[in-house]
Amino acid sequence: MSTIQPTNGTVENADTRPTVLHYLYNLGGGGAEAMLMNLIESLDRTQFRMVVVAVHAAPWPDHVRRLIEAGAVLHELGSVSLAKLRHVLRAERPEIVQTWMQQADFVGGWMARLAGIRRIIWSIHSLEIFCDQQCGPFKNALYRATFALSSRVIPVRIVSCSAAAIDVHAATGYPRHKMQRIPNGIDADRFVPDCEIARNTRQRLNLPVDAPVIGYVGRFHEAKDFPTLLRAAKIMQAREPRTHFLLCGGLESELSPEERRLLGQLPAPDQVRFESFRDDIWTIHPALDVFTLSSRTEAAPLSILEAMACGVPCVVTDVGDCASLLGGMGRVVPARSPDSLAKAWEDTLNFTPEERVETGRRSRARVLDQFTIARSAGQYARLYDGLLSM
């Protein structure tokens, strides 16, 4: 186990601030983790002392740096160790514990309760309650029942980034009266429309300046339904041979055997670029003509908001809160429908210059109005203040 203390930006008499301890498995790799980074950077560090406990942190050095620069304390456990987590909880004595994602909710929540902590917040960032295809239906059902029962005992609040996820979890047994929605927020000063960034990114990735580029940014995970995306890509390249695809968040070697087979069936598989996850992810979106999600399940993806803030038209599947995030500023198609996805891409690429500019302007305005990290951080601060007054 390792601990990193902030080296700058600390506040005098910091021990007088209430401590909010965040527990999660991985410090990076997905939207929930990115949201935690954004939140800690945006909260008033004179108001709360932030402690992050991650099972794994070292693979994401940029996130480590950002946390320390934001004045947070970071503990990396190195393994899922109840003894190490108990030690940190006893040493830090937090007033509030917030856990992120379902397994962390269960493990971190119970450990906090056993340590005598009552102000516990669970965080929901997925549509379903635990679904692992490797576990089988019986074990998944057992996990869901265990999490639902624990949700009635452990947390005093359950925060979801998604209205759809609240409905799904409540129907499965989570207590609705404990649940509230705090939408995800992004740094709209970082994600901006920028022609120079777009040119530089295309040059770096060897993407033609005048070719249509359809892009995805996020984890390479079976929930993202890459088979549907690749089947739609085959249709799209048959209609518009110049179309390039940029998949950012993983490498071609991470594709499943089925996905590699589908990639090989494209008319121009060499026009599909793979880019591993980047710390400067905001340089990717401006280079896209269309941002897309082919997911079979989502809660409320940050990547949609990031693309909208960059003024990039979006084509997404009708899952979770995806359609409500767009607010009519993009195309929404049924999940698992390659034909519908390809048709929506084609229609979007055929926007007139005026339609593209207006869609981008309205998309960014929607993010600035409803989905900034400052707005989200304000809601979390009010939640923490309310719990501290209990």
Is residue 243 scored above 50 in pLDDT? yes
pLDDT per residue as tens digits for the range 335-353: 999 999 999 999 999 999 9
**Torsion of the alpha carbons at 93, 98, 103 and 108, rounded to the nearest 10:** 10
The answer to whether 20 and 384 are in contact (CB under 8 A) is yes
Residue % of the chain over a pLDDT of 90: 90
Distances in Å between the Cα of 93 and the Cα atoms of 74, 129, 217 are 15, 29, 38
Element (H, E) at 338: helix 338-349
Sketch the domain layout of the chain as residue ranges.
2-185+372-388, 195-370
pLDDT of residue 10: 45
pLDDT per residue as tens digits for the range 127-151: 988 666 667 777 888 888 999 999 9
pLDDT of residue 131: 64
pLDDT per residue as tens digits for the range 21-46: 999 999 998 999 999 999 999 999 99
pLDDT per residue as tens digits for the range 156-205: 999 999 999 999 999 999 999 999 999 999 999 999 999 999 999 999 99
Provide the greatest CA pair distance for the chain: 65
Closest Cα to residue 308, out of 290, 332, 281, 294?
290
Q: How does the average pLDDT of the chain come out, rounded?
A: 95
Angle at 53 between CA 47 and CA 58, to 5 degrees: 120
Q: Which residue has the higher pLDDT, 10 or 268?
A: 268
| Cα four-point dihedral sign 296, 297, 301, 304 | positive
Q: Which CATH class is domain 2-185+372-388?
A: alpha beta
**268: its two tokens:** 């121009």
Name the band, by pLDDT with cuts 50, 70 and 90, for residue 14: very low
Instruction: Give the pLDDT mean for 282-287.
Output: 98
Residue % of the chain over a pLDDT of 70: 96
The answer to whether 214 and 285 are in contact (CB under 8 A) is no
Four-way CATH pick for 195-370: 3.40.50.300, 1.10.10.10, 3.50.50.60, 3.40.50.2000: 3.40.50.2000
Backbone angles phi, psi at 202, to 5 degrees: -65, -40
Same CATH topology for 2-185+372-388 and 195-370?
A: yes
Instruction: Give the pLDDT mean for 77-94.
Output: 96
pLDDT of residue 7: 57
pLDDT of residue 121: 99
- Per DSSP, the three-state class of 272 is strand
Name the band, by pLDDT with cuts 50, 70 and 90, for residue 13: very low
CB atoms within 10 A of CB 203: 11
Is residue 12 scored above 60 in pLDDT? no
